Amino acid sequence: MRGARWVPLIAGVFAAACATAPPPKPAPLPTRSTDTAQYRKALENAWAQIETHEKKPVDAPRVDVEAAASISIPDHRTIRGALSYFTTDLKDDIQESLLRSARYKTMIDRVLAEYRLPKGLAYLPVIESAYIPTVTSRAGAHGIWQFMPETARDYGLRVDWWVDERADPERSTRAAAEYLRDLYSQFHDWPLALAAYNAGPSRIQRAMDKTGATTFWDLVDSSVIPRETRGYVPTFFATLIIASDPATYGFRLGEPADPGVRRVEVEGPLSLAFVADAAGVDADTLRELNPFLRHGIAPPGTSSIRLPAHAAETIAARARTLKNDDANVAVCAYTMRKGDTLRSLARALGASPSTILAMNGLDRSDHLRRGDSIYLPVRARALGSLLENAQAWVSVHKGDTLYSIAKRHHLSVSELCDLNQISRKHQLHPGDKLRVGAPRALTAGGM
């Protein structure tokens, strides 16, 4: 997807700026969810308002085509409109995003080079996410490259209850590079590939087939693609123009820096809170480095987490055994016993059946049986008492039936019969006792 020919900085202007002021630091991540929502809303407004800015003059020289080393930047009214909007109404937001790009610029450039893609694509997250890994759009796109779940999985990213690699900056960048390369191979044109990245390749191809259009700009004129997409491509090129020569437009870039982070393979389930304590690292820092661990827990089996380089060796030395010492991880292995049901376990834990299914990669068509090993969302040391408390018994009263008792306790008749080892034809008598909770049965494998 989008190959923007990113224009190098004008050496003299950049050198003068560096001589008079220290390199700017990357902007901090927003601390409130409203910051992200406001940025996304501002971008949507930008896409909607481009036409109102198309004819406004931009007091800046045109980009030198020779300097646009990676992608040819078209001269189109919508790009001029986007540039006008970005250098006025949205200037503060674009500036903050450009500064934050320094956190990831070195890594993104390296990946783009591996895939032989234009360097200008490194600025695509400016209009996607402002380089915030935890951003989620209203449509469900997530991460700095704003992948939808299905596309993310198609390109090898893990998206489940435990992990969402769309929020892993490096792995999502590799997936984005592969996807962009595929889109360019399909359309042989960066504006069309960029449009396909935003709207989906099938939608763009259908629009081209319907109108006979051969360029993205033809599609803009025919208005057969969504307004967001009609604005998306121009805003990318406007961002690229600004990034190519920030001083001319009143912007500045952060100095790319090595974040000093290493990946370490660990055995899970393992909580980041325990890892932080073992490594002597601030827990919030570790969570910020690993936004792809959705619940702050490395999943069962072998997986990698990101650590400050100075703490990596400490954790690597204990990577295989750390989980055995993590008594506070809010996940426990459990072996199903006779009488257990998904609903009875969920009720005992105060969880939803859908959570237990998601944790174990199951759906409602899967049937759990005696002897099956599953994970439950509870600390091992708390599981026993929760299940013990769930061993509720009720007295049968006049007029009670198996159906009425089961319904009152959110059970099926079959579940009630299984819990009490009776048949559906069993005759009830006032004063009889019936179990309505599963008996305790715990196997905390390795926890």
Angle at CA of residue 385, ends 379 and 391, nearest 5°: 130
> Which structure tokens are listed for 223?
């208005």
Q: CB–CB of 289/306 below 8 Å? A: yes
Low-confidence ranges of the chain (pLDDT < 70): 1-35, 48, 51-69, 390-391, 437-447
Residue 132 confidence (pLDDT): 96
What 3-state class would DSSP assign to 375? Answer: strand
Strand partners, 308: 261
Q: What was the pLDDT predicted at 372?
A: 93
- Looking at residue 245, its pLDDT comes to 86
Residue 413: closest CA among 315, 332, 341, 358: 341
| pLDDT at site 61 | 36
* Per-residue pLDDT, 57: 62
∠ CA 317-318-319 to the nearest 5 degrees? 100
Amino acid 219: pLDDT:
96
pLDDT of 176 reads 98
Q: For 141-153, what is each residue's pLDDT tens digit? A: 999 999 999 999 9
3-state secondary structure (DSSP) of residue 415: helix
Q: Who's near 198: CB < 8 A, 6+ residues apart? A: 228, 229, 232, 233
C-alpha distances (whole Å) from 429 to each of 175, 395, 424 are 64, 10, 14
Residue 64: strand, helix, or coil: coil
Residue with tokens 């006779």: 338
The residue to which tokens 């895939």 are assigned: 115
Domains of the chain by range and CATH? 11-249 (1.10.530.10), 261-325 (3.10.350), 332-435 (3.10.350.10)
- Confirm if 43 and 30 have CB atoms less than 8 A apart: no
Predicted confidence at residue 391, as pLDDT, reads: 62
- pTM of structure: 0.75
